[in-house]
Chains A and B, each alone.
Chain A
């Protein structure tokens, strides 16, 4: 079913004449599935919580079952927990294309109980994905303390994402903060005495988990779809500029490097090339 003949693909109608490969437009492609394509990468902060200058996370580079090292993990293979993409190096097979109409990023951290990120970001070690969360007794900065909300703020404001299709120009599309996802949230610390307060004076036992977007958020629509054409590498990465600081996170107030995970979801349509 070529989708220019079907009104259910109204969302793609404005782009029907957009060329996917020479001689084939979006309107001529055959619909296969509507799906979310997701990919998770990771980076480490130092024990002092510093995210180094020009830290870069590759996304949609490693396909399912491929080595996760290319996406910032220290060992292991990509599983369905990290990606559902089967496009190795972001390259769709000869007869397929994926047309993404919406995008979003989520942020978290991976912990294994270890104090270093060699283990925290090792996918062969059982780990737990968590929201960015301040420790119970954050380290003071300028005699004050801040919390996980600010870590999320700092990462999402400092990281922006790049898109390169084939050997084309690399384009910086925007900061991660614009591309939110429907997130989870938590209500904790009902006793303000125990709650994480900004002065930190009585921050004893509670944490404040946060997510990149409210539970009801919708993904941001892309003005122009991102197309994964057949046999063309699509490279997406998130990158920061100058260094900045997170709050080292440890329940025991020990300086511990944080293994931050960056996930991207692309919502769109999987298509096959027209036959004949």
Chain B
């Protein structure tokens, strides 16, 4: 069923005439397959405690399930990405139209290699950033950009402004101890990402490059406790969620 013929896709209605392929195929011409979320995770190594190095440059949606990349030392699984096609490039007959976007950042650490998702002897502990200050600092200092094919690279803004798909919710003691915290997430627990005013389209056979970038090195507030926010040897994980519609080209 073509997108333009179905009332169910009201969200896409303003973009029906948007071209997705050089042969003039528009969003309205595409056939709906599934409404879903795609996610991809990249890791930034931490070599100095509580410090994110300068010139952060992380790829998202470049490594597919089964590939090694994006800071991981072994093959990615569905725990790290839902993406099945390398280099942000969909097959010749598929299009993904992302209508909302969210980011979540957290810490991966283990006594062996936090970049190895397949480790079974020492599984990876994933935990959210343990203080709101730290979450704010990381989200404010990193931004993301996208490049479709050989087009212009566009910076979309700070990660903090794209509240991720939140999950956990806990209410804890009124904090008269500044160290007391149970962790923070980007966005409210009910966050459903941020609506993209213009959808981000992954056209068929075209590389889409999404990157998370940073400028100067910056320190992440610590809680002055025995546990560092970003311990040496840990990895800062950045996960992007793109919620949208997977479609196929018209026949």
List residues of chain A with CB under 8 Å of any chain B CB: 13-18, 48-54, 141-150, 152-154, 156-158, 160, 171-178, 180, 183, 185-193, 195-201, 206, 208-218, 220, 222-224, 239-245
Q: Check if B117 sits within 8 Å of A242, measured CB to CB.
A: yes
Q: How far is the CA of A50 from the CA of B125 in the complex (A)?
A: 9
Q: How far is the CA of A141 from the CA of B125 in the complex (A)?
A: 8
B232 to chain A, nearest CB (A): 10
In the complex, B137 has a CB within 8 A of chain A = no
Q: Check if A187 sits within 8 Å of B169, measured CB to CB.
A: no
Q: Check if A218 sits within 8 Å of B182, measured CB to CB.
A: no
8 Å CB interface, B166-224 against A: 166-177, 179-183, 185, 188-190, 192, 223
Residues of chain A within 8 A of B37, CB atoms compared: 173-175, 178
Selected from A52, A144, A154, A183, the residue in CB contact (under 8 A) with B227 is: A144
Q: Check if B106 sits within 8 Å of A157, measured CB to CB.
A: yes
Is chain A's binding surface mostly helix, strand, loop or mixed? loop
List residues of chain B with CB under 8 Å of any chain A CB: 6-11, 32, 34-37, 39, 65, 76-80, 82, 104, 106, 109-111, 117-120, 123-128, 130, 165-177, 179-183, 185, 188-190, 192, 223, 225-228, 231, 234, 239, 241, 243, 245
Kindly name the residue among B77, B127, B190 whose own CB sees the greatest number of chain A CB atoms within 10 A. B127
Q: Check if A187 sits within 8 Å of B166, measured CB to CB.
A: no
Q: How far is the CA of A52 from the CA of B120 in the complex (A)?
A: 8
Kindly name the residue among B8, B120, B167 whose own CB sees the greatest number of chain A CB atoms within 10 A. B167
Residues of chain A within 8 A of B9, CB atoms compared: 223
Given contacts A153-B168, A214-B189, 6 further A-B contacts (CB under 8 A): A53-B120, A149-B168, A153-B185, A188-B173, A192-B177, A213-B167
Q: Check if A50 sits within 8 Å of B35, measured CB to CB.
A: no
Q: Check if A197 sits within 8 Å of B165, measured CB to CB.
A: no
Q: Check if B168 sits within 8 Å of A245, measured CB to CB.
A: no
Q: Check if B173 sits within 8 Å of A178, measured CB to CB.
A: no
Q: Check if A220 sits within 8 Å of B239, measured CB to CB.
A: no
Selected from B130, B189, B241, the residue in CB contact (under 8 A) with A198 is: B130
**B172: nearest residue on chain A (CB-CB)?**
A208
Cross-chain pairs A/B with CB under 8 angstroms, 28 sampled = A14-B6, A16-B7, A50-B120, A149-B168, A152-B168, A153-B185, A172-B36, A172-B82, A174-B241, A183-B169, A188-B173, A189-B172, A193-B177, A198-B130, A200-B227, A208-B170, A210-B168, A211-B170, A212-B168, A213-B189, A213-B190, A217-B190, A240-B79, A242-B80, A242-B118, A243-B120, A244-B126, A245-B123
Q: How far is the CA of A131 from the CA of B172 in the complex (A)?
A: 14
Selected from B10, B126, B169, B180, the residue in CB contact (under 8 A) with A211 is: B169
**A191: nearest residue on chain B (CB-CB)?**
B173
Q: Check if B8 sits within 8 Å of A217, measured CB to CB.
A: no
Kindly name the residue among B119, B128, B172, B177 whose own CB sees the greatest number of chain A CB atoms within 10 A. B172
Q: Check if A175 sits within 8 Å of B172, measured CB to CB.
A: no
**B102: nearest residue on chain A (CB-CB)?**
A178
Q: How far is the CA of A212 from the CA of B125 in the complex (A)?
A: 19
Residues of chain A within 8 A of B80, CB atoms compared: 241-242
Q: Check if B225 sits within 8 Å of A14, measured CB to CB.
A: no
Residues of chain A within 8 A of B111, CB atoms compared: 141-142
Q: Check if A244 sits within 8 Å of B124, measured CB to CB.
A: yes
Q: How far is the CA of A156 from the CA of B6 in the complex (A)?
A: 33
Q: How far is the CA of A216 from the CA of B227 in the complex (A)?
A: 33
Q: Check if A195 sits within 8 Å of B166, measured CB to CB.
A: no
Q: How far is the CA of A174 from the CA of B178 in the complex (A)?
A: 36
Q: Check if A213 sits within 8 Å of B177, measured CB to CB.
A: no
